[in-house]
Amino acid sequence: MTRILQLKITLEEITPKIWRRFLIKDDITFQELHDTIQIVMGWDNYHMFEFQISDVRISADEEGHNLAESSFKKLFQSPEFLKMLEQTKMKNDSANLDVNKLNKILKEQEKSKPIQKYTLKTKINLLINSEKQKFNYAYDFGDNWEHTLIVEKILDSSDAPFIPFCLAGERACPPEDCGSIGGYYELQKIKKNKNHKEYKKRIVEWLGENFDFEKINIDKINKELHKLFKIDGRTRYWVPK
């Protein structure tokens, strides 16, 4: 029997918290969960991503994504690469790192990569199936946005209206490619000061003066969810009241 999961997702290391509470069916795939998170949070689906549930990792296929971003993620998972950074004291500038050594590390990682038992086509209830269960979602391996999700409730299908559905949340998602957490806070400072030398370039021309870091539009989120998951003119995850 299909059940409804009430999830809360929180973007880590940002204060005040940026979070959303939403409902999904437990028989959707991890790809569909990713699609839902992108809309619920307000991301633009430009970058690679990864779920981690206990010791299981489910990653986006590299095809169609930024390969440099994927390589960046792989390198920082390598103890050898981290040792190289330490030895060369180049943590903030990798320009002088040996490219041949980097390629060798990437090739070795590819050889040793285990076959994935779970993929983005896997239904989430195989791994996410209990209240209070926590798991993680990473988006954009460059800016490295880390999210924590918790299963707050498991409901019968008769308890929920439209599925997926965003119930609540606070604060706008950071702009894409803003430079991770440091860049996000810097952008906030610039937004508050029209005399800042970067105001015209980063706020007026790029972000938009009407962007509000503190506001979200739940109705707009739900309209986008229903539009995305609509098939043959009918809402895919409609559940009767």
Q: Provide the residue ranges of all domains of the chain, joining segments of one domain with +.
A: 1-60+120-173+216-241, 66-117, 177-213
**pLDDT at site 235:** 43
Q: Going by CATH, does the domain composed of 1-60+120-173+216-241 fall within 3.40.30.10?
A: no
**pLDDT at site 212:** 96
The neighbour count for residue 90, using CB atoms within 10 Å, is 13
**pLDDT at site 214:** 97
**pLDDT at site 60:** 84
User: 149-198, pLDDT tens digit by residue?
Assistant: 999 999 987 666 578 999 999 999 999 999 999 999 999 999 999 999 99
d(CA 137, CA 10): 10
Beta carbons within 8 Å of 101's beta carbon, 6+ residues apart: 84
Partnered with residue 231 across adjacent β-strands are 234
Full DSSP string of 21-70: EEEEETTSBHHHHHHHHHHHHT--S-S-EEEEETTEEEE--STTS-HHHH
pTM of structure: 0.78
Query: Which residues of the chain fall short of a pLDDT of 70?
Result: 61-97, 99, 102-103, 105-107, 109-115, 158-161, 231-241
**pLDDT at site 221:** 96
Beta carbons within 8 Å of 102's beta carbon, 6+ residues apart: 75, 81
